[in-house]
Structure formats: structure tokens, C-alpha cells
Structure 1
Amino acid sequence: MANHTPKPDDRSDNVEKLQSMIHHTIENMEDAEAAMVNSSPEDQQRIKEKNERRRESIDAFRAEIKDEAHNQQ
């Protein structure tokens, strides 16, 4: 039977990954808002709700970046 040992916890690039996730989330929000022009009222409402959830995610990403930066010091 093989010995399964976990990989060491490497957090050295977490801040960069989180910043990338924020960037992509903002791009998705902008694309969704551009699509609203040609969307039905129901779809516009769904897009608004989804973008609100995206804003909440961005806030969580930023809080996690602060935690990571603090832990790296």
C-alpha cells in the first residue's frame, strides 16, 4: 500500500491568486452589465442579483487578502 502524505501547505502565492480572482470577478460583472442592455426584465433582475453576490465575494476576497498579508509578516 502506498504511503499517502499530504503536501505541505504552501500559501506563498495566495495573495496573487486572490487578486486574480477579484480581477476576473470584476470582468464578469462588467460583461454581465453590458449584456443587460439586450436582456429581458427577468434576466436583468437575475444579473443584478448575481452581481450583488459577486460584490459580496469581492469583499470576502479582499478581507482574505488582508489576512494573508498579515500572516506573511
Structure 2
Amino acid sequence: MTYNNKPNPDDRSDNVEKLQSMIFHTIQNMEEAEKSLEYANDDTQRAQIEAKNERRRESIDSFRAEIKDEAHAQENKYE
């Protein structure tokens, strides 16, 4: 059996769009989690939901920073 050990070319052309989509879906998940808080059974469950949403906020901040980096890289033609 022959293996192709060549790496795939780095195609970053749609990274910004993918990151924007990830932000959109993360925000949707946060909104759903906020709605579920009114049905939370106890303080532990509420705390878990709130902690998860805080991690989601941090992820969104990271996505936005990465979008800026990608946009800058595209402007400079990835040099």
C-alpha cells in the first residue's frame, strides 16, 4: 500500500466566514441556554449554565480576535 505523505495545501480563503458562522452559532447557543435558565431545577444547574455561557463569551472574544488576524493576513496576501 502506498501512502501519500504530502500535506494538504493551506486554504485559508474562507476562514473569516467560518469564524463568523461559529460566532453566530455560539450566540444562538447562549440565547437558548439563557432561556433554559428559567427551567433550571436548582442552583447547581443554574451555575453550570451560567459558567458555560461565560466560556462561550470568552470563545466569541477569541473568534473575533482571530477574524481580525485573518482579515489582516488576507490584506497582506498571507505574507
TM-score tier (shorter): over 0.9
- Partner in structure 2 of residue 62 of structure 1: 64
Could you tell me how far apart the structure 2 residues matched to 1:21 and 1:55 are? Answer: 12
Structure number, greater radius of gyration? 2
- CA drift at 1:41: 1.5
Note the residue ranges of structure 2 that are not aligned, 5 or more in a row.
Answer: none
Please state if 1:37 is matched with 2:38. yes
Secondary structure at the aligned position of 1:2 is classed as: coil
Note the residue ranges of structure 1 that are not aligned, 5 or more in a row.
Answer: none
TM-score, normalisation: structure 2: 0.89
Percent sequence identity over matched residues? Answer: 64
Runs of 4+ in structure 1 over 4 Å off: none
TM-score, normalisation: structure 1: 0.95
More helix as a share of residues:
1
Q: How many residue pairs end up in the alignment?
A: 73
- Partner in structure 1 of residue 29 of structure 2: 28
